[in-house]
Amino acid sequence: MTVDKSESRIRRMFGEISARYDFMNHLLSGGTDYYWRWRTVRLTRPTGAAPVLDVCTGTGDLALAYWRAGRKQVPVVGSDFTHEMLAIARTKWARARGTADPEQVQFIEADTQHLPFGDNQFQIVSVAFGLRNVTRTDVGLSEMTRVCLPGGKVVVLEFSTPTNRFFRAFYLWYFRNILPLIGQMLMRNQQAAYNYLPASVSEFPQGEALADMMRTAGLEQVFYKPLTFGIATLYIGTKSAQ
């Protein structure tokens, strides 16, 4: 059965779980999500003054990580279409900014399939664990590429399935049986979010399949790096400078 990734279902689901979304991410990943974001930003550090865009930003953790990596000088925009998640992201920014210009990091409501920006705007366009939730992956990647500056980077951090057969067997058992029970018990919701998670990961293109989609979207020099035994994978592509 195909997972329901309609815009209305995804928006409702993330709205329902927004209040404890960060807590559950840290709990269910054993805190590894901090490392994944750190690794992403380290490999794609901002340079110069052009802004960074983080789509499907959720509660804003990767957007704020890019702001810090840019020495708190590079403007960052986080976009998402779930109002409740953005409210949390804006609260985080208010706590983090100190004396920085409040407009330096902005969180806006927008669908990744219809980004409200002109072409060639951002030096980095990133997404962490959100591309999987975009109804049409190809359209999301095309939009991310469109708004990226020529020579800029499109960065995708996403869950994947480990390749080691022993670890893979244990991981899939945990992912399909234990994680949904814990998730639903601690964060009850109408959309079965923690059943959706393993189902959506299993259906999502991984490795060379996603790299090929990035190339089709107009990216070059696409490569990917498995993280933490392949539980997550980081994909990086460069927009043609032509």
Q: Spell out the SS3 assignment of 37-95.
A: HHHHHHHCCCCCCCCEEEECCCCCHHHHHHHHHCCCCCCEEEEECCHHHHHHHHHHHHH
Q: For the ranges 9-13, 145-149, 188-192, 230-234, which has the lowest average pLDDT?
A: 188-192
For residue range 164-207, list pLDDT tens digits in order.
Answer: 888 889 888 888 887 777 766 666 545 466 678 788 888 999 99
Give CA–CA dist 32/85, Å, rounded.
21
* Statement: residue 27 has pLDDT above 90: no
Residue-level pLDDT at 218: 96
Q: What are phi and psi of 72, to 5 degrees?
A: 60, 25
Residue-level pLDDT at 174: 85
pTM of the predicted structure, to 2 decimals: 0.94
CB burial readout 179-205, b (16+ within 10 A) else e: bbeebeeebebebebbbbbbbbbeebe
Residue 216: Cβ within 10 Å count: 12
Average pLDDT over residues 93-115: 96
From residue 146, how far is each of 2, 134, 149, 210, 218 by CA, in Å? 28, 16, 8, 18, 9
Residue-level pLDDT at 152: 98
What type of residue is 66?
A: Y
* Statement: residue 19 has pLDDT above 50: yes
The CATH-assigned architecture of domain 7-239 is: 3-Layer(aba) Sandwich (3.40)
9 pLDDT tier (thresholds 50, 70, 90) = confident
Q: What are phi and psi of 144, to 5 degrees?
A: -60, -40
Domain ranges of the chain: 7-239
User: Is 239 within 8 Å of 219 (Cβ atoms)?
Assistant: yes
Residue-level pLDDT at 39: 97
Name all contacts of 206-215 with Cβ < 8 Å and 24+ positions apart.
206/158, 206/160, 206/161, 206/233, 207/160, 207/233, 210/156, 210/158, 210/235, 211/235, 211/237, 213/137, 213/138, 213/141, 214/141, 214/154, 214/156
For residue range 117-134, list pLDDT tens digits in order.
Answer: 999 999 999 999 999 999
Residue 113 has what DSSP assignment?
Answer: G
Residue-level pLDDT at 186: 63
Residues β-bridged to residue 235? 156, 224
For residue range 66-92, list pLDDT tens digits in order.
Answer: 999 999 999 999 999 999 999 999 999
Average pLDDT over residues 143-150: 98
Residue-level pLDDT at 191: 47
Could you give the percent of the chain with pLDDT greater than 70? 94
